[in-house]
Amino acid sequence: MDQLQAQNVRSSITIVGSSMSGRDLVPSEVARALGDTSKIAPDTLPPNTATEAQTADPFIKNVSVGGGGQTTVVERWLLEEVVPRIHPQRIIWGVSTLDFNSARRESTIDRYNNARQTRVGALGDADQSLASFSALAKNRAALRDPYGMLKVLTGADLSTRLPNRSQPRAASFDLGYKPLPPAKLKKMQLREIAYARDVQLRGYSLGREELDAFRRTLRRLKALKTEAAVVLMPVTQGYIDAHPHGARDFNEWRTRVTAVAESEGVVVLDRTRSMPDTAFRDAEHLLVPQARDFSLEVATELKRQGW
């Protein structure tokens, strides 16, 4: 995101969400379907002091967060980093039950919330202020390690161990997943479904905090005059069955999330079962050709609805 801002890039449509959005919503296919709507009129660009020239990026940007796209993280990532830096006019937000699971704990979530520049509250403010003028505070993560301490004392700056910005794996996704032999693909799918059941969806509960963050984000985008669309991302039947109460949990999530988005005047595309299980590499990520097809389908429907 720092690089995009430094290059003065503007994105007319930005895709955000978890790795499902990162892998399965392909910017080039979305741009192909929407045509000229992926371009920003030069006179609508917000001012940017980075350079005198202002560039409308001809490609739609995918800045999804991998490894923990909770709505509470996406809210901050989108509103604190993405919107102020590349000023998207429209947002496509891909979501699934993982993003609303109050029991889910991922390292990406903790890293984002605890990194120096994204830590909130009085302690976060104090940390940022102290690190700005104290080498001891800036390098404290390294100083806990004797070997690191030696490096600091000899002049090395190891402050990146506690980065100024968190490092969600964003804007660097490859398109879909390459095909696998049928036997290997089946084994992969079974393993990933077990992982979803035992780790990602263990103790699944539709979280009030996650729903509130979702609603707040949509309202804030509306206040900023940034149009949004929500896509309920496709998953396998095995993924649905991996919830503690199976389809009951999944359908409750679909109903609640759709109601929240529609109450905020946001377009909702429910594509949860739009792809056959054979289209997936694992429980929730599509193979390459199917990712292209899915992206084109989503963009075509958005165009039909006025995008």
The answer to whether residues 55 and 202 belong to one domain is: yes
User: How large is the average pLDDT for residues 276-293?
Assistant: 91
* Burial degree of 284 (CB within 10 A; 0-12, 13-18, 19+): buried
128 plus 275 within the same structural domain = no
Q: State whether 15 and 53 are in the same domain.
A: yes
Q: What is the DSSP letter of 272?
A: T
Pair (136, 42) in one structural domain: no
pLDDT per position as a tens digit, 212-233: 999 999 999 999 999 999 999 9
Q: Are residues 124 and 177 in the same domain?
A: no
Instruction: Give the model's pLDDT for residue 51.
Output: 32
What average pLDDT does this structure show over 99-104?
91
Residue 5's nearest CA partner among 57, 71, 42, 43 is 57
Six token digits for residue 100: 């609303």
The pTM score is 0.74
Kind and range of the H or E element at 245?
none
pLDDT over 90 for what percent of the chain? 44
Considering the domain architecture, whether residues 148 and 159 belong to the same structural domain is answered as: yes
Band of residue 254 on the pLDDT scale cut at 50, 70, 90: very high
With CA atoms as reference, report the closest residue to 99 among 73, 64, 80. Answer: 73
pLDDT at 45: 43
User: Are 181 and 293 found together in one domain?
Assistant: yes
My answer on whether 233 and 153 are in the same domain is no
Query: Do 232 and 268 contact (CB within 8 A), yes or no?
Result: yes
Same domain, residue pair 186 and 138 = no
Average pLDDT over residues 17-35: 89
Supply the mean pLDDT for the chain: 78
The answer to whether the CB of 95 falls within 8 A of the CB of 257 is yes
Selected residue with higher pLDDT from 134 and 203 = 203
- Band the pLDDT of 189: cuts 50, 70, 90: confident
Q: State how far the Cα of 67 lies from the Cα of 208, in Å rounded to an integer.
A: 21
Total domain count for the chain? 2
Determine how many CB atoms are found less than 10 A away from the CB of residue 272: 19
* Residue-level pLDDT at 268: 98
pLDDT over 60 at 143, yes or no: no
12-29 mean pLDDT: 91
- Rounded mean pLDDT, 240-267: 98
Position 181 scores a pLDDT of 82
- What is the chain's percent helix, strand, coil content, to nearest 5? 55, 10, 35
Domain end: 129, 164, 199, which one?
A: 164
Choose the final residue of a domain: 132, 164, 196. Answer: 164
More confident position, 279 or 156: 279
pLDDT band at 15 (very low <50, low <70, confident <90, very high): very high
Q: Are residues 23 and 152 in the same domain?
A: no
Examine the domain organization and report whether 25 and 85 are in the same domain.
Answer: yes
- Residue 239: Cβ within 10 Å count: 26
CATH number of domain containing 12: 3.40.50.1110
Tokens describing residue 293 = 């097809």
Among the candidates 128, 149, 164, a domain finishes at: 164
Tens digits of residue pLDDT in 108-131 = 555 555 554 554 555 555 555 555
- For 165-186, the pLDDT digits (tens) are 444 443 334 455 666 788 888 8
Q: Please enumerate in sequence order all residues whose Cβ is within 8 A of that of 74, keeping only pairs 6 or more positions apart, or say none.
A: 16, 17, 18, 65, 93, 99, 213, 217
The answer on 149 and 183 residing in a single domain is no
Instruction: Grade residue 148 by pLDDT with cuts at 50, 70 and 90.
Output: low
In terms of average pLDDT, the best of 47-61, 78-92, 99-113, 147-161 is 78-92
Q: Measured between alpha carbons, how far is 111 from 211 in angstroms, rounded to an integer?
A: 21
Domain interval for residue 228:
2-115+169-304
Q: Distance (Å, rounded) from C-alpha 85 to C-alpha 195?
A: 35
Q: Quick check: 42 pLDDT over 60?
A: no
| Residue 63 confidence class, pLDDT cut points 50, 70, 90 | confident
User: What average pLDDT does range 42-48 have in this prediction?
Assistant: 44
